[in-house]
């Protein structure tokens, strides 16, 4: 018996808007978390010290989170930024909660991973700096 050929038609415009909005919301969440750590840096560094981590690592995680948030919002190095944001947020949670995990943090991490998966696996979509650079490279290659 022959298997039927099934094709999935994807609306490119809807896909690009979906990935853009998830990148924007995930980047905004990372910016909010980083701003909270910077505004209440004494508590953040005290929690990092209580967890046994050096203060420099805590500041590096917050700085990396800021950079990754901006990269996600712009759509530049999107796949790398989305994957790194998951790891960075996991480290941030360990430092922020002083290795005392609660259900809110776990829920936040799961939601953030769910929001970053489309960008990490499928790419940034048309509304991104990555797409603009890829289009320029292709046009330059076919100019002759």
For 127, the domain range is: 18-141
Query: What pLDDT does 86 receive?
Result: 87
Per-residue pLDDT band for 144 (boundaries 50, 70, 90) equals low
Q: How far apart are CA 129 and CA 58, in angstroms?
A: 29
Residue 26 lies in a domain: yes
Residue 4 lies in a domain: no
Number of residues that this document lists for the chain: 144
Write the DSSP symbol of residue 75.
T
Query: What pLDDT does 28 receive?
Result: 93
Residue 6 lies in a domain: no
What percent of the chain lies above the pLDDT cut of 70?
97
Query: What pLDDT does 47 receive?
Result: 83
Residue 48 lies in a domain: yes
- Total domains in the chain come to 1
Residue 29 lies in a domain: yes
Residue 53 lies in a domain: yes
> What does the pLDDT look like over 55-79, one tens digit per residue?
888 889 899 999 999 999 999 999 9
Q: Is the pTM of this model over 0.85?
A: no
Residue 75 lies in a domain: yes
Residue 5 lies in a domain: no
> What does the pLDDT look like over 91-124, one tens digit per residue?
888 887 776 777 877 888 888 888 888 888 888 8
Nearest to 94 by CA among 45, 42, 141, 51: 51
Contacts of 96 (CB under 8 A, 6+ apart): 37, 44, 47, 105
């Amino acid at each position: 018996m022959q298997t039927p050929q099934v094709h999935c038609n994807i609306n490119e415009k809807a896909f690009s808007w979906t990935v853009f909005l998830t990148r924007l919301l995930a980047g905004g969440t990372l910016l909010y978390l980083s701003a909270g750590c910077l505004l209440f840096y004494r508590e953040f560094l005290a929690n990092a010290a209580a967890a046994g981590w050096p203060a420099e690592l805590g500041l590096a995680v917050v700085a990396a989170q800021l950079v990754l948030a901006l990269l996600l919002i712009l759509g530049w190095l999107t796949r790398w930024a989305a994957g790194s944001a998951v790891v960075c947020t996991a480290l941030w949670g360990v430092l922020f909660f002083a290795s005392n995990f609660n259900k809110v943090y776990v829920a936040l991490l799961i939601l953030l991973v769910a929001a970053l998966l489309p960008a990490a696996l499928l790419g940034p979509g048309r509304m991104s700096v990555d797409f603009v650079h890829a289009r320029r490279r292709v046009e330059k290659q076919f100019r002759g």
